[in-house]
Amino acid sequence: MIKLSSNNVVLYTEDTLIMKKILLILATVLIGFGATAQNLPNTTIKQLNGRPIKFNKIFEEGKVTLVSFWATWCIPCKAEIKNIKEKLPEWQKETEFNFVTVSIDDSRAAAQVKGYTKSQGWEWPTYLDQNSDLKRSLNFQNVPFTIIVDQTGKIVYQHTGYEEGGEDEIYEKVKAAVNGESLGDGAVGE
pLDDT score recorded for residue 34 = 36
Query: How high is the pLDDT of residue 168?
Result: 97
What confidence score (pLDDT) does residue 166 get? 96
More confident of the two residues 87 and 34: 87
d(CA 166, CA 180): 21
With CA atoms as reference, report the closest residue to 92 among 128, 65, 117: 65
pLDDT of 65 above 70:
yes
Question: Does residue 12 surpass a pLDDT of 90?
Answer: no
Sheet of 98-103, strands arranged across: 38-39, 154-160, 145-149, 65-70, 98-103, 126-128, 44-47, 52-54
**Band of pLDDT at residue 156, cut at 50, 70 and 90:** very high
State residue 20's pLDDT score: 53
What value does the mean pLDDT take over residues 103-125?
95
Q: Where are the alpha helices (DSSP H) in the chain?
A: 6-34, 75-94, 110-119, 133-138, 166-178
End-to-end Cα spacing for the chain = 53
pLDDT of residue 24: 42
| Enclosing H/E stretch for 44 | strand 44-47
* Lowest-confidence region among 103-117, 122-136, 173-187: 173-187
d(Cα 23, Cα 162) in Å, to the nearest integer? 42
- The whole-model pTM stands at 0.79
Phi and psi torsions of 54, nearest 5°: -75, 135
